[in-house]
Amino acid sequence: MDLGLNDKIALVTGAAGGIGSAIARGLCEEGCKTIFVDIDTDGLKRATRGYKPSAIEEICDITNRKKVKDLFKRIMIKFGTLHILVNCAAVNSAEYIEEIQDEILQKIFDVNITGYIYPTIYAIPLMKKAGYGRLIYINSNSGLKASAGLPLYSGSKYFNRGFAISAALELGKYGITSNSICPSDVYPEGEIEAKSWKNESLLKISFEKEGVSSLKELIKKRNSKNPMKRSCTVDDIKNIALFLASEKAGFINGQSIGVNGGTIPY
């Protein structure tokens, strides 16, 4: 199926990470000029290797409003438009509520919430001008069904789903759709690993909850409970993101799409 993405302009935040790099590279493969945004300079170099000139590196801290505004100004000058925004950069955290420290509280608000809002604010005028927009929010199973021990992470993902739905209702009339993709666990594998599972507190609390003592055992246990008997991969997420970015998905708006093998069916 031709997705009709050739020559579209796309931007992916967190594009040096496991999931962001897979989506950004997928957009390049479909013919998009894709702006890979991250704060990890070396990671961006790795993610864009072999994908230039379609891949454009931009170092930008998405929590800094001025830097995000300047980034979109550069995009306006260089391309005159933007069609696709994939908000993917986020941080992980796991803790029990009584243990919440200000540092992680602030970090979650900054990256997972503010960092999804700023790029959206500055993408909208460019998308309105194009008469075409695809806002794609990388969410999580945790944004569909909160779990014990993940109050800040789950809370930030619920916030983002609400924000994305509000954007869908506000912007549909301009040809702009807004949807959330909610994947289940994506474990580190492949050339660029999804780094969420490098988080010590997430590992500790997940091990406690599942009664296991290693990541290998955790994966085995969770896969055995999954109806498809496997975990989510970056390709599973990339494929739905590419479809949502395309013309073909023009009537899918305000949805939260689970990519979880059926663990959260509805």
Ligand X SMILES: NC(=O)c1ccc[n+]([C@@H]2O[C@H](COP(=O)([O-])OP(=O)(O)OC[C@H]3O[C@@H](n4cnc5c(N)ncnc54)[C@H](O)[C@@H]3O)[C@@H](O)[C@H]2O)c1
Among positions 62-121, residues that touch ligand X (CB under 6 A) are 62-63, 88-91, 111, 115
Q: What is the per-residue binding string for ligand X in 160-189, x denoting contact by CB under 6 A?
A: -----------------------x-xx---
Supply the minimum distance, in Å, between the C-beta of residue 39 and ligand X: 4
DSSP states along 41-57: HHHHHHHHTT-TTTEEE
Stretch that binds ligand X, among 4-12, 58-66, 94-102, 216-224 (CB under 6 A): 58-66
Asked whether the bond before 53 is cis by omega within 30 degrees of 0, the reply is yes
Does the footprint of ligand X cover residue 39 (CB under 6 A)?
yes
Applying CB under 6 A, among 30, 61, 95, 236 the residue interacting with ligand X is 61
User: Quick one: tokens of 205?
Assistant: 């609390």
Stretch that binds ligand X, among 3-11, 33-41, 96-104, 118-126 (CB under 6 A): 33-41
Among positions 2-21, residues that touch ligand X (CB under 6 A) are 13-14, 16-20
Supply the minimum distance, in Å, between the C-beta of residue 108 and ligand X: 11
Q: Where are the beta strands (DSSP E) in 91-228?
A: 133-138, 176-183
Supply the minimum distance, in Å, between the C-beta of residue 17 and ligand X: 2
Does the footprint of ligand X cover residue 149 (CB under 6 A)?
no
Supply the minimum distance, in Å, between the C-beta of residue 94 and ligand X: 12
How far apart, in whole angstroms, are the C-alpha atoms of residue 15 and residue 43?
A: 8
How far apart, in whole angstroms, are the C-alpha atoms of residue 177 and residue 246?
A: 10
174 noted as active-site residue: no
Among positions 201-260, residues that touch ligand X (CB under 6 A) are none
Of residues 203, 255, 262, the one with CA closest to residue 236 = 262
Taking the least distance from each CB to ligand X, the nearer of 11 and 32 is 11
Of residues 199, 104, 116, the one with CA closest to residue 157 = 116
User: Quick one: tokens of 258?
Assistant: 């689970």
What lies within 8 Å, CB to CB, of 30 at 6+ separation is 3, 5, 6, 242, 245
Which residue type does 144 have? L
Q: Which long-range contacts (CB under 8 A, 24 or more apart) does 122-126 make?
A: 122/68, 122/69, 122/71, 122/72, 123/11, 123/72, 123/82, 123/85, 124/171, 124/176, 126/72, 126/75, 126/76, 126/81, 126/82
Q: Choosing from 116, 118, 137, 153, which is the catalytic residue?
A: 153
Supply the minimum distance, in Å, between the C-beta of residue 165 and ligand X: 17
Binding residues with ligand X: total (CB under 6 A): 28
Taking the least distance from each CB to ligand X, the nearer of 40 and 208 is 40
Instruction: Summarize as ranges the residues that interact with ligand X (CB under 6 A).
Output: 13-14, 16-20, 38-40, 43, 61-63, 88-91, 111, 115, 138, 140, 183, 185-186, 194-196
Active centre residues (catalytic): 153
